[in-house]
Chain A
Amino acid sequence: MAKAVESSGELGTTSPRPLMRDLKAVGKKFMHVLYPRKSNTLLRDWDLWGPLILCVTLALMLQRSSVDSEQDGGPQFAEVFVIIWFGAVTITVNSKLLGGNISFFQSLCVLGYCILPLTVAMLVCRLVLLAEQGPINFMVRLFVVIVMFAWSIVASTAFLADSQPPNRKALAIYPVFLFYFVISWMILTFTPQ
């Protein structure tokens, strides 16, 4: 799986890593999620900054504004956070147990980045909710969420499916489906009070 390769002293320089390079890498991965195609970028150069940003954004948007300071959005905020990270870790453990050859952090990276379409859906839903409530409002949101949900599934399977043995693909993809379904459900049923 992972082994420590020590090169003490071989490299004369351990120079600081520039910030812009990391930011560009994150941006590039977002692009890869929006236009999924067979590519190794998400897998080869993984990072967890994108998932963190998306998770925090989603959790902030899913907060209910409440008058009562006791329920100041606290439980909902931490809930979203825990669901996303715990869910991603569970899926990763599941895929490793099924014999996948993808590393722990690579899997977390892919699952986290593929939340991007659903975050966009959340944004759209919040804007739509500013308009008049009603069945049309709900239909629009339902449509947006379904499209983005499908987009997330397609993006993540494009990256994850290859890492599984052929007879286990469905077993590995099913939890991913469930994961994004739960997030989509949270987005769809969100109503600001």
Chain B
Amino acid sequence: MADTGEGKKEEADYKTFHTFPLIRHTDMPEEMRVEAVELCVTACEKYTTNNESAAKMIKEMMDKKFGSSWHVVIGEGFGFEITHEVKNLLYMFFGGSLAVCVWKCS
């Protein structure tokens, strides 16, 4: 019981400590990056169960703010190889298990 108790506590710790948005790779300029990250976090928190809606929200907002043809992928386990316009890529982790990749390519 002690073990499982500890295990649970660790899990809880891990959950609380690992939820912050962790930017893995980006080449966006400062203000764009900040806005994009905020947007992703808002979207993911709003649509915790539905990745598609979250992605849709992010994509539409990015299109409006920064120009057309943004692409968004949200998931927990995937691999990707993309071509993106320089200075328009954001790849980050959020919520301990979600990975979000946002890029622009028209």
* Chains A and B form a bound pair: no
